[in-house]
Every structure is written in structure tokens, then in C-alpha cells.
Structure 1
Amino acid sequence: MDKLRAIEIFRQVAEMGSFYKASKILGITPQATSKAIAQIEKHLGTKLLYRNTRQCRLTEEGERFLLEVTKGVSLIENAWEQAHELSSEPRGTLRVTCGLHFGRTVLLPLIDQFQQRFPRIEVELYATDNFVDLVKEGIDVGFRNGLEPSGNNYSQRLFDLQMLACASPDYLRRYGIPDTYHDLSAHTCTGSRQINSGRIEPWEFMENGELIFHHVHSRFWVSDSEVETEAVLRGMGIGLLANLNVAAHIRSGKLVPVLCRYLSHRYGVYLYFPGGKKLSDRASRFIEHARDELLGSSSFQFSVDQLQQLQEKFKLELDGTK
């Protein structure tokens, strides 16, 4: 007896409740269907179906048997699907969400590289600074800056989102370098205002392991981080800006880090995707690609020592011009 074929016939009969209908779908005669069921019952030593001339229904033993074989068939189908995915080129639409600035500066190059490797995968990028419910919006993979995403999601911190106090070289030449965050009261600072609440964000520092929220008096407030970055580059004041916005400017010398020893590590850049759900092959491959490129990335992160070295380099240049 071909057990797999016999199980297929049994499941079809159980689903249709009729030998005749099941036979028609399977492309065999009702006699062949009846024979296969009889062979299973003989092999198991129990009756699986109550029969009459027009329909049939499962016995208690038949219901238990159907439940168990269905589990086994699902495992086999999953194995086939996984093997097919491994042997075939991934394709289809991948839906990704992230913040606006992150999309422009970080994710766009990442997606470009990914699509060069997998040209049959289409990517739809939903760029927004609002939190996105992945399941509700049908999103495969998300990226979020700040605190770890909550809810029924799997998330991984890729690297620190560092808030860096910095200023232009021209500003620091004119007004000096603050030594502690208390010195900011004697400086011009830029500020960030929340769009929804209108609240001005306090500056965050870490001192002796304690998180400090320090309110600075700002002459210029803005609700957009890129505009604030541009203001600091123009010498309009000292700003507390995310490393995603200013890392390249700090490395190039267009901005100088200050108050380096107070660096906080509270925030992060997170990759997240729906928990309790089987990922598509294209989503799995994109997640792997993102981890390879971004996990622990040194492109945006600085150690306290690195920041202090950059500040000391500027101080030496400043002393040399006096």
C-alpha cells in the first residue's frame, strides 16, 4: 500500500464527505477510492468512516487520525516550500518602513545593494516618522530610531543612536568650548520641538551612570532634525543632534563634538519584524543583508575616546592659530 497516496485519498474523502466527489477531484474511480480507504482501515485495525450510499462521515477514530495526518502533511508541504525557496531565485514585493531621514541616508543605499543582488525582488518603502503597526499595515520589515519597539514584534538593536552635542568650528572659535553642560547657559543653543505636543525637548546626558535631563535656553527651535543640523553647520549655536545626522560632518571636521564625556547610550537603531509569523524568503534575505551591513556599524557610532580625540585635535588647531 502506498501510504502517502492512501492518506491523500482519505483526507479528500473526509473533506468532501463523499466517495464520489473525492474520486472526481482525485481523478480515480469510486471503487479505487473505496479500496484505498478499506486498506487503511484494515492496516490500522479500526473503522475510520461511516458510509451510506450518498455520503460518509468520520468516526471518532477517523477524526483523530485525520488530525494527526494533517499535521504530518503540513510538515511535508513546509519542507517542500523551503527547499523550493532555497533552490529558486527570490521574487515578489518586500514592504519596508523606516523614518524619513533614515530612509534617505541609510536605507536607500542598502536597498540599492540588495536589489542588485536580487533583481526580481521589488521593494516598497513606507517612509514616515510615525510609529507603524507592521501587521496592520502589512509591512514585512521595519526600522525604528529611539526606544525598542514594543508589541508582538521581534526586534534587534543594530547600533546606538547617539545624541551628540556639537558646534561648527567657526562658532567655537568665537565663543569657546563648554567644559560641562552647566556652561551651556552662557552659549547660544538650538532646540528641538515635538510636532505633536509642542514641547521643547530637554538635552540628555549621562553623568556617573545617571541619566540627566538638562533644559537649555535656545534662541532657535525647530521640529525637523535636518533643518537643525543645517543651523548648527551655519554656526547658529551648539546643538544636540543624532549621530545619523552629524557623523559624516564630525568626521570631515565641519562639526566639532563637545561635552563628550556625557555621552548617553539610551537610544538605539532597531530592526524589527512581526513575531509569531513565518517570514517570506525575500524578507529573511533582506533582514540578513541589513544585519550584515548595519549590525555594530562604525559608520555612525563613536566611542567617548574617539569624540574626545576629535575635540582635542580641534583645540590644538585653535591654539595654533592664536
Structure 2
Amino acid sequence: MDSSQRVRAILSFVQAADAGSFAAAGRVLGITSAAVSKNVASLEKALGVRLMNRTTRSLKLTDEGGAFLRQARVALEALDAAIDTIAAQRVSPSGRVRISTSWAFGREQLMPVLPGLLSRYPALSVEVDFEDRVVDLVREGYDFAIRGGNIPDSTLVSRPIFHLNLVLVASPAYLASHGVPQAPHQLRAHRLIARRFLNGRISPWSFGAEDGSIVMFDPAEAAVLTLSAPEAVVRAACDSVGIAQVGVHLAWEHLRSGELKIVLHRYHQPGNYEMVMQYPHRALLAPRVQATLDYLQEAFSEDKRLHVPRDALDAYVA
């Protein structure tokens, strides 16, 4: 089969599977039912497997036919997206974009840049859900999510935004009252603020040992306050409740103002965390989604709070 015959045969197969009969598929494609049957038979011959079992009243996919149908849909969607992409070069992206993000990042980083996005693309509309749970993008109908942490390998595409460094912080008033810890083991004598994830796990603190190994510390051992929201952890540290582990991007303005100081900077490990934009794998993205992703990536790259060099933190150590 040449390329044009292959495309006609695949279209005939997909339409027949969707419509349930060769006659219905022929009406959609504007050809006879006999032509649809011939195209499907040619495709089966080329593949060397039966894709459909036919009766006088119905069509039923074989296991091989079901697998082929799923792959054929991906290919046809890619062709449609290619056409949309070319057409989009002549018009501004339009339509609704659905985003899932956390409360903290959504309020502090995403919200300030959305007016610029909507100004650049007036035909766009944006719907944002602020929640800290991990959503199912496909099932719940999101175009993409902004997520932070240890991002697991998955079928989703991850576009990095920034490396999410962690620091231990406390207010000057707390440190004046309780002293500045000089080694990780001294934390057990301090008042600590722990972060609990939605799955109930307490976020551990990591320290480098003299032999180069990593030692994990559970702050729950000495926690006087346990919170699930990272911005609440920062607020509690500013209010002199105790020592907390927070993302640099959340603490940066408080460090610069003097509300917070960094402790155990020599020992504390910043973690292997990142913030990413994740979306389902597709050969080509819809123009409205592509334009939004590109705009946000550019805007986030200019946010200095997200890209503080680790050596710049030395100036804020207690």
C-alpha cells in the first residue's frame, strides 16, 4: 500500500469502528460501503492480521483491532493538530485553558502573570483550580498542571520551571530567645514547625554528614506545630513559632526584609526538587495550550525569586 492508500484505509477502519457498520462509515466519508469494506480488507492484508469480525448486522473489533484503533486515533489526532498549528499561525490562539496548581504557587507566582497573558492573547480564557492534591489531568479535563516536589517518571510531559531549593529558617526573635543551632542534632532541643503532605507524610529534613552521606531527620520528633500549607509554614516561622524548612522562593522576600534568617546552612541539603508544568503527551499541543505554556515559561524565568543562586543565601545566614 502506498501512503495515500494507507491513509484512506486507516480512515475507513476508524470510521467503521466508530459507526458500527461499513454503510454508516461510508456515509461519513462520502464513499460506498463496498469501498469501506475494500479499504479495511486491504489494511488487514497489509498488516497480516484480522482487525474486525463481520456479520450481516454488526462489526466487532478483534484484540489486534482494538490495539490498532488506539494507535490510529493518536496518529489522526496528530494530523489534525498539525493542521491546527499551521492555521494558528494566521490567527491568535483562542479558547479556554484549564490549569491546576497549588495555593502557594498559584497565588504568589501564577496570578501576577495571568493579566499579561490575557493581554497578549485577548481571545484566551483561563480557568485555574487552586488545590494541593495531585489531579488526573486527562480524566478531570485539565490542559496542564503546575506541580512541585520529586516529580516521578510518568507518561506526562514535564517542562521544568525552576529547581526548588529548600532552606531552614527562623525569625531573629526566635533565635535570640532559643539560640542558633550549630549542628543538626541540636534541633531536638528546638521548637520545630513540620510540613505534612496531603497523604499524611511529614516532609523530612536532609543533612550532609562528615563522611559525605545524607542523614534524614524527622522534624515531627520536636514539632510544636504541623501544617499542610507551605505558605502557612513560612508565616509561622515569621511569627517566631520555631524553625521551619521552606522553599527559597517562598522565603526570599522575608529573608531580604530581615524577618527570617537561615540556620544550619552548612549542613542542610536543599533537596532534589523541582517545579514543573506537566501535560499529557501529544504529538502536537493545541495552539491555546502551547501559547500559554510558552508565555508562562518566559514569565517564570524572569521571576528572580525562583532562581536565587545558593551562594547568594550566605548573606542571610544567622
- With normalisation by structure 1, the TM-score equals 0.71
Q: Distance in 2 between matches of 1:75 and 1:271?
A: 21
**How does 1:1-322 map onto structure 2 within 5 Å?**
56-57=34-35, 64=42, 80-197=83-200, 199-207=201-209, 210-216=213-219, 217-261=222-266, 262-276=268-282, 278-295=284-301, 298-311=304-317
Identity of aligned residues (%): 24
- Equivalenced residues, count: 273
> Which runs of 5 or more structure 2 residues have no equivalent in the other structure?
47-71
Code of the aligned partner of 1:135: V
Distance 1:237 1:75 in 2: 53
Decide which structure has the larger Cα Rg and report it.
1
CA distance in 2, matches of 1:309, 1:74: 53
AA aligned opposite 1:293: A
- Cα distance per residue 1:76-125 (max 9 Å; x no partner): 86654322111101111001111111111111112222111111100111
Letter in 1 for 2:122: P
Point out the more displaced range, 301-310 or 128-137: 301-310
CA displacement at 1:135 relative to structure 2: 0.9
Post-superposition Cα deviations, 1:267-287, rounded to whole Å, max 9, x if no partner, equal 111111101353110100111
CA distance in 1, matches of 2:131, 2:105: 10
**Offset, 1:60:** 5.4
Cα-Cα RMSD: 3.8
- The separation in 1 between residues aligned to 2:92 and 2:294, in whole angstroms, is 16
Q: Give 1:92's aligned amino acid.
A: G
What is the deviation of 1:210? 3.4
Letter in 2 for 1:249: H
| 1:258 CA displacement | 1.3
Contact 1:211 1:264 in 2 (8 A): no
**Aligned twin of 1:36:** none
Contact between 1:177 and 1:258, CA under 8 Å: does it hold in 2?
Answer: yes
Q: Distance in 2 between matches of 1:74 and 1:167?
A: 52
Verify the 8 A CA contact 1:102 1:244 in the aligned structure 2.
Answer: no
Contact 1:206 1:264 in 2 (8 A): no
